[in-house]
Amino acid sequence: MLKKDLILRNPLRLIGYEGDDILSDGQFGAVLARAGVGKTAFLVQLALNSLLRDNNVLHVSLNDPVDKVVLWYREVLADITKQYNVGQVDQLWEAILPHRFIMTFKVEGFSVPRLEERLNDLTEQGIFIPRMILIDGFVFDESKRDSLLHLKELAKSSHIHVWFAVRTHRSEKSDPGSIPRPLAQMAEMFEVAIQLQPEGDKIHVRALKGGAATATSHPELLLDPSTMLIRNKS
Protein backbone atom coordinates (compact mmCIF):
# COMPACT_ATOMS: atom_id res chain seq x y z
CA MET A 1 0.00 0.00 0.00
CA LEU A 2 2.89 2.37 0.61
CA LYS A 3 3.92 2.38 -3.04
CA LYS A 4 0.33 2.56 -4.26
CA ASP A 5 -0.35 5.59 -2.06
CA LEU A 6 2.55 7.52 -3.59
CA ILE A 7 1.72 6.47 -7.16
CA LEU A 8 -1.81 7.82 -6.80
CA ARG A 9 -0.35 11.15 -5.68
CA ASN A 10 1.71 11.53 -8.86
CA PRO A 11 1.21 15.27 -9.54
CA LEU A 12 1.78 14.95 -13.30
CA ARG A 13 -1.75 13.54 -13.50
CA LEU A 14 -2.90 17.07 -12.69
CA ILE A 15 -1.68 18.36 -16.06
CA GLY A 16 -3.43 15.73 -18.11
CA TYR A 17 -1.23 12.64 -18.07
CA GLU A 18 -3.54 9.81 -17.10
CA GLY A 19 -1.54 6.77 -18.20
CA ASP A 20 1.13 5.01 -16.20
CA ASP A 21 3.79 6.43 -18.50
CA ILE A 22 3.74 9.81 -20.20
CA LEU A 23 5.83 8.45 -23.06
CA SER A 24 5.49 5.36 -25.24
CA ASP A 25 8.26 3.15 -26.64
CA GLY A 26 10.74 5.12 -28.73
CA GLN A 27 9.46 8.51 -27.60
CA PHE A 28 11.49 11.37 -26.15
CA GLY A 29 10.62 13.77 -23.36
CA ALA A 30 12.52 16.87 -22.27
CA VAL A 31 12.69 18.84 -19.04
CA LEU A 32 14.02 22.31 -19.84
CA ALA A 33 15.41 24.82 -17.35
CA ARG A 34 18.36 27.03 -16.56
CA ALA A 35 21.18 25.68 -14.43
CA GLY A 36 20.23 25.06 -10.81
CA VAL A 37 16.47 25.37 -11.27
CA GLY A 38 15.56 21.71 -10.66
CA LYS A 39 15.94 19.59 -13.79
CA THR A 40 17.64 16.69 -12.02
CA ALA A 41 15.13 16.72 -9.17
CA PHE A 42 12.29 16.65 -11.69
CA LEU A 43 13.85 13.72 -13.56
CA VAL A 44 14.32 11.85 -10.30
CA GLN A 45 10.63 12.33 -9.48
CA LEU A 46 9.70 10.92 -12.90
CA ALA A 47 12.02 7.99 -12.21
CA LEU A 48 10.61 7.35 -8.75
CA ASN A 49 7.06 7.25 -10.09
CA SER A 50 8.18 4.53 -12.51
CA LEU A 51 10.27 2.68 -9.92
CA LEU A 52 7.33 2.57 -7.51
CA ARG A 53 5.46 0.67 -10.22
CA ASP A 54 8.33 -1.84 -10.43
CA ASN A 55 9.55 -0.58 -13.80
CA ASN A 56 13.29 -0.61 -14.45
CA VAL A 57 14.93 2.80 -14.87
CA LEU A 58 18.41 3.47 -16.24
CA HIS A 59 19.77 6.82 -15.04
CA VAL A 60 22.62 8.09 -17.25
CA SER A 61 24.58 10.96 -15.71
CA LEU A 62 27.16 12.93 -17.68
CA ASN A 63 27.92 15.36 -14.86
CA ASP A 64 27.63 13.70 -11.47
CA PRO A 65 29.31 10.59 -10.04
CA VAL A 66 27.25 7.63 -8.88
CA ASP A 67 27.26 8.62 -5.21
CA LYS A 68 25.82 12.06 -5.96
CA VAL A 69 23.06 10.56 -8.12
CA VAL A 70 22.23 8.11 -5.32
CA LEU A 71 22.00 11.05 -2.92
CA TRP A 72 19.49 12.75 -5.22
CA TYR A 73 17.23 9.69 -5.09
CA ARG A 74 17.55 9.32 -1.32
CA GLU A 75 16.78 12.97 -0.64
CA VAL A 76 13.87 13.23 -3.07
CA LEU A 77 12.28 10.01 -1.81
CA ALA A 78 12.69 11.16 1.80
CA ASP A 79 11.09 14.52 0.98
CA ILE A 80 8.17 12.85 -0.83
CA THR A 81 7.44 10.46 2.02
CA LYS A 82 7.65 13.34 4.51
CA GLN A 83 5.35 15.53 2.41
CA TYR A 84 2.66 12.85 2.28
CA ASN A 85 3.22 11.50 5.79
CA VAL A 86 4.16 8.08 4.44
CA GLY A 87 6.44 6.20 6.81
CA GLN A 88 8.85 3.32 6.27
CA VAL A 89 11.11 5.16 3.83
CA ASP A 90 13.79 2.50 4.29
CA GLN A 91 11.35 -0.18 3.20
CA LEU A 92 10.45 1.82 0.09
CA TRP A 93 14.13 2.43 -0.67
CA GLU A 94 14.94 -1.28 -0.56
CA ALA A 95 11.93 -2.04 -2.76
CA ILE A 96 12.98 0.31 -5.59
CA LEU A 97 16.73 -0.38 -5.59
CA PRO A 98 16.56 -3.54 -7.78
CA HIS A 99 14.74 -1.52 -10.45
CA ARG A 100 17.29 1.29 -10.78
CA PHE A 101 20.68 1.26 -12.49
CA ILE A 102 23.02 4.25 -12.60
CA MET A 103 25.47 4.67 -15.45
CA THR A 104 27.98 7.51 -15.65
CA PHE A 105 30.04 8.97 -18.49
CA LYS A 106 32.21 12.01 -18.88
CA VAL A 107 30.50 14.47 -21.22
CA GLU A 108 33.27 14.31 -23.78
CA GLY A 109 33.29 10.50 -23.65
CA PHE A 110 29.58 10.01 -24.19
CA SER A 111 28.12 8.85 -27.48
CA VAL A 112 25.03 6.90 -28.44
CA PRO A 113 27.10 3.95 -29.77
CA ARG A 114 28.90 3.76 -26.39
CA LEU A 115 25.60 3.87 -24.56
CA GLU A 116 24.23 1.18 -26.86
CA GLU A 117 27.29 -1.01 -26.22
CA ARG A 118 26.96 -0.75 -22.45
CA LEU A 119 23.20 -1.22 -22.64
CA ASN A 120 23.68 -4.37 -24.69
CA ASP A 121 26.16 -5.69 -22.12
CA LEU A 122 23.49 -5.34 -19.44
CA THR A 123 20.55 -6.72 -21.38
CA GLU A 124 22.26 -9.63 -23.12
CA GLN A 125 23.51 -10.96 -19.79
CA GLY A 126 20.14 -10.40 -18.16
CA ILE A 127 21.69 -8.02 -15.64
CA PHE A 128 19.30 -5.13 -16.22
CA ILE A 129 16.63 -4.43 -18.85
CA PRO A 130 15.35 -0.84 -18.58
CA ARG A 131 11.89 0.44 -19.40
CA MET A 132 12.92 4.10 -19.07
CA ILE A 133 16.22 5.92 -19.63
CA LEU A 134 17.03 9.30 -18.11
CA ILE A 135 19.93 11.26 -19.61
CA ASP A 136 21.19 14.17 -17.52
CA GLY A 137 23.92 16.38 -18.96
CA PHE A 138 23.55 15.78 -22.71
CA VAL A 139 24.70 18.85 -24.64
CA PHE A 140 22.18 19.76 -27.33
CA ASP A 141 23.22 21.33 -30.61
CA GLU A 142 22.52 20.71 -34.28
CA SER A 143 25.54 18.38 -34.57
CA LYS A 144 23.77 15.91 -32.27
CA ARG A 145 20.77 15.37 -34.58
CA ASP A 146 22.06 12.10 -36.06
CA SER A 147 22.94 10.79 -32.59
CA LEU A 148 19.41 11.53 -31.36
CA LEU A 149 17.87 9.82 -34.40
CA HIS A 150 20.04 6.77 -33.67
CA LEU A 151 18.97 6.78 -30.03
CA LYS A 152 15.30 7.10 -31.01
CA GLU A 153 15.58 4.01 -33.22
CA LEU A 154 17.37 2.14 -30.43
CA ALA A 155 14.72 3.13 -27.89
CA LYS A 156 11.90 1.98 -30.14
CA SER A 157 13.49 -1.40 -30.91
CA SER A 158 14.31 -1.89 -27.22
CA HIS A 159 10.83 -0.85 -25.98
CA ILE A 160 12.28 2.06 -24.01
CA HIS A 161 11.32 5.72 -23.68
CA VAL A 162 13.87 8.43 -22.90
CA TRP A 163 13.79 11.61 -20.81
CA PHE A 164 16.45 14.32 -21.14
CA ALA A 165 17.41 17.23 -18.91
CA VAL A 166 17.94 20.18 -21.27
CA ARG A 167 19.85 23.21 -20.06
CA THR A 168 18.59 26.55 -21.32
CA HIS A 169 20.26 29.95 -20.95
CA ARG A 170 18.99 33.21 -19.50
CA SER A 171 20.38 35.17 -22.46
CA GLU A 172 18.41 33.19 -25.06
CA LYS A 173 14.90 34.60 -25.19
CA SER A 174 11.89 32.73 -26.59
CA ASP A 175 8.22 33.53 -27.01
CA PRO A 176 5.95 32.45 -24.13
CA GLY A 177 4.77 28.89 -24.67
CA SER A 178 7.33 28.18 -27.37
CA ILE A 179 10.14 25.66 -27.04
CA PRO A 180 13.39 27.50 -26.27
CA ARG A 181 16.81 26.88 -27.66
CA PRO A 182 18.74 24.63 -27.77
CA LEU A 183 15.85 22.16 -28.16
CA ALA A 184 13.85 24.27 -30.63
CA GLN A 185 15.99 23.23 -33.60
CA MET A 186 15.18 19.53 -33.06
CA ALA A 187 11.84 19.75 -31.26
CA GLU A 188 10.13 17.52 -33.83
CA MET A 189 11.93 14.53 -32.30
CA PHE A 190 10.35 15.14 -28.89
CA GLU A 191 6.82 14.13 -28.00
CA VAL A 192 6.78 15.94 -24.63
CA ALA A 193 8.54 19.09 -23.44
CA ILE A 194 8.13 20.49 -19.93
CA GLN A 195 9.70 23.78 -18.86
CA LEU A 196 10.70 24.80 -15.33
CA GLN A 197 10.49 28.58 -15.29
CA PRO A 198 11.46 30.73 -12.27
CA GLU A 199 9.28 33.78 -11.67
CA GLY A 200 10.00 35.64 -8.45
CA ASP A 201 10.08 33.12 -5.61
CA LYS A 202 8.18 30.47 -7.59
CA ILE A 203 9.27 27.85 -10.13
CA HIS A 204 6.47 27.15 -12.59
CA VAL A 205 6.09 23.75 -14.29
CA ARG A 206 4.74 24.39 -17.79
CA ALA A 207 3.94 21.83 -20.46
CA LEU A 208 5.12 23.19 -23.81
CA LYS A 209 4.36 20.10 -25.86
CA GLY A 210 2.65 16.80 -25.27
CA GLY A 211 -0.96 15.80 -25.80
CA ALA A 212 -3.45 16.62 -23.08
CA ALA A 213 -0.77 18.26 -20.99
CA THR A 214 -1.02 21.42 -23.08
CA ALA A 215 -4.71 21.86 -22.35
CA THR A 216 -5.53 25.03 -20.41
CA SER A 217 -8.14 23.22 -18.30
CA HIS A 218 -5.47 21.53 -16.20
CA PRO A 219 -4.06 23.33 -13.17
CA GLU A 220 -0.54 24.70 -13.19
CA LEU A 221 2.11 23.02 -11.11
CA LEU A 222 5.04 24.46 -9.21
CA LEU A 223 8.34 23.19 -7.90
CA ASP A 224 8.77 23.86 -4.21
CA PRO A 225 12.08 25.81 -4.07
CA SER A 226 13.01 24.27 -0.71
CA THR A 227 12.55 20.60 -1.69
CA MET A 228 12.29 20.78 -5.52
CA LEU A 229 9.17 18.60 -5.27
CA ILE A 230 6.30 19.05 -7.72
CA ARG A 231 3.13 20.43 -6.16
CA ASN A 232 -0.21 21.90 -7.16
CA LYS A 233 -0.17 25.69 -7.45
CA SER A 234 -3.13 25.94 -5.08
Note whether residue 26 is domain-resident.
no
| pLDDT value at 16 more than 60 | no
Residue 19 lies in a domain: no
C-alpha span between 187 and 38 (Å, rounded): 21
pLDDT category of residue 14 using cuts at 50, 70 and 90? low
- Whether residue 38 lies inside any domain: the answer is yes
Establish if 75 belongs to a structural domain.
yes
Residue 218 maps to a domain: no
pLDDT attached to residue 111: 93
Confidence of residue 223 (pLDDT cuts 50, 70, 90): confident
pLDDT at 8: 52
From 15-24, 57-66, 199-208, the region with the lowest mean pLDDT: 15-24
Let me know if residue 23 belongs to a domain: no
Whether 125 shows a pLDDT value over 60: the answer reads yes
Positive/negative CA dihedral, 66, 133, 193, 233 = negative
Residue ranges making up the domain that contains 193: 2-9+34-197
User: Does a structural domain hold residue 205?
Assistant: no
Structural domain total, the chain? 1
**Is residue 142 in some structural domain?**
yes
The torsion defined by the Cα of 69, 70, 76 and 82, in degrees rounded to 10, comes to: -170
What average pLDDT does range 166-182 have in this prediction? Answer: 76
Read off the CATH number of the domain in which 178 is found: 3.40.50.300
Q: Please, what is the average pLDDT of the chain?
A: 86
